[in-house]
Chains A and B, each alone.
Chain A
Amino acid sequence: MKKNTAKPDAVKHSAFKKGTQQAIGLADSAMGRWIVLAVAFTNGFVIMSIELLGGRVMAPYFGSSVYVWGSIITVFMLSLSLGYLWGGRLSTRLPDVRLFAGFFLAAALLCLPIIFFAEPVMTRIFVAVEDPRYGSLITAGLLYFLPICVMGMVSPYSVRLLVLSQEGSGGVAGMLYFVSTLGSALGTLGTSFYFVLWFNLDQVMWGCVVALLCCGAAVMWTHQRINVVAAQNTSERGVS
């Protein structure tokens, strides 16, 4: 009984439900919107932090020549481009806050091989491939493609989570580009100026893993909290 009366009420409150789009949980609360922006920022930060560390991870095996950086940047751009494509498709087919949180968990786990298996992977490639251009390209692909691809999926998916209307979509996308690219800028600066001076490479990598896990946890926590508040509101309304 209560459920039936509550549903049209909720639809009235959130204007975007009148259109074809479906609210999927975070956009209709200020806290939810802030969390999406915060994790997009962190995601951008971590991507560039890992990219800069990549040069140092690979230098002992392939040198610090210009083509090592070429390999790293190529792989990162390719991973991000495919991540954007697939993340965008997923956001249309499976819009779900839990999947969004899952991206961060997956990215964190996919970063672990960089910490644990970079050396044996690079040793094998170093022996098998004489040309350090292709050696570094293959290594960068093996170590970084999956985690960075998943991190690339975050961006279009966050747009989907925040867009309420067609008119507002450009503004939302612009805001997300702004925070995630600002995060990338600060990740680049922080890593190259300070983190490598204060920490070991692996410690910075662990910091990235923890940051990604925190993002996932924050998204899940917010999602649940919003659901609880919504349920309370619904039941209150139902009572009155």
Chain B
Amino acid sequence: MRGSGFVLVLALLVWFGLDNRAVAQRTIIHEERSQYRDVVVTEFNNQRCMLFNVHRGDMNQTCIDLRDPRRLVFNYTRMSFAGLLLNPEPKRILVAGLGGGTIPTVMRELFPEARIDVLEVDQAVVTVAKQYFDFVEDEQLVNHVVDARVFIKRAGLRGEQYDYIVLDAFSGEYIPEHLLTREFLEEVSQILTPDGVLVANTFASSGLYDYESVTYQAVFGEFFNFKTAGSGNRIILAKKQALPSAAELNAPARQLYERLRPYGINLLEFPAQLSTRPDWDVNTRILTDQYSPANLLN
């Protein structure tokens, strides 16, 4: 009895010890208290990162390269700019999910005339993005502390429309299930201009892949599936209109290539990697507001 208790205590000590060691390699430079999960800023190897759930393994939410802040660190962030192939001159941009503000900041630099709305449910993330990741709001780029579903539903009621929408509201561990359903995507479709593009950052390798695929298919029909080797993310590029052929995307890729190169984005590589061929089980159940156990399916 006493012996087993000792072993348990020892096991816990070892476990916590290992856990702390994994974190200790990085220097924690800031911790921000949040209504949801505390937001931690770390620095390591000249990268500054925003993390959630530090104690359950390192989930890098967003990182910047301190030596070259313009270079995008994450593959999926670079991939998300493939949406520009389908709409090279966006004027009304909506980004759901702030993180370190990388995507809206780059869009602001690329398209100074565009009006950009960012949606972030957690005020702590906004605070940290401003203090540590050079996220700056101005009259063209406005952040709203709001649930994305609530904002988009209201925008639909007001009849507002965007020609470039990025869905990137997934924080690693917990998936907001109400942002995966057919009804939500219909609301997104409602605020998308006829020639607008939807860019969605989704999971490439989890049990959710099939579910997300059939749900996007149900709302938007055929879409471009964008995966790269070694990335755990899959980018969905959807339009309300029929998609152009992948070959037609080479022209906008050449046109924008130079402007995107400083960010580490090689747009010329993208068109060949876009596919419309379903590589998922098309008989999978569609996610709806009635049925969306995304965290259990993941």
Contacts and interface: CB of A to CB of B under 8 A. Distances in A.
Interface in A3-33: none
B95 to A, nearest CB: 17
Contacts of A132: 146-147, 150
Interface in A64-97: 64-66
A64 B293 contact: no
Interface stretch (B71-79, B177-185, B192-200, B227-235): B177-185
B157 A63 contact: no
Interface in A100-131: 126-127
Contacts of A240: none
Given A64-B177, A127-B157, A59 B296 contact: no
Interface in B87-143: 121
Given A126-B153, A127-B157, A132-B150, A63 B293 contact: no
A64 B176 contact: yes
Interface string B258-298: 00000000000000000000000000000011111100110
Given A59-B149, A197-B293, A65 B177 contact: no
B130 to A, nearest CB: 21
Contacts of A202: 290
Contact of B178 (A63, A199, A200): A63
B36 A66 contact: yes
Given A196-B293, A196-B296, A197-B296, A62 B176 contact: no
Main secondary structure of the interface of A (DSSP, over half): helix
B46 interface: no
A63 B296 contact: no
B53 to A, nearest CB: 16
A201 B153 CA distance: 21
B132 to A, nearest CB: 23
Contacts of A61: 149-150, 153
B176 A200 contact: no
Contacts of B157: 127
A56 interface: yes
A63 B177 contact: no
B4 interface: no
A126 B154 CA distance: 8
Contacts of A63: 121, 146-150, 178
Contacts of A66: 35-36
Contacts of A196: 291, 293, 296
A126 to B, nearest CB: 7
Contacts of A56: 177-178, 289, 292
A69 to B, nearest CB: 11
Contacts of B146: 63, 132
B120 to A, nearest CB: 11
B147 A62 contact: yes
A63 to B, nearest CB: 3
B297 A197 contact: yes
A202 B293 CA distance: 14
B184 A60 contact: yes
A65 B36 CA distance: 8
Interface of A: 56, 59-66, 126-127, 132, 193, 196-197, 199-202
5 closest Cβ pairs, A-B complex: A63-B147, A59-B178, A200-B290, A197-B293, A196-B293
6 contacts: A56-B177, A60-B178, A62-B150, A63-B121, A132-B147, A199-B291
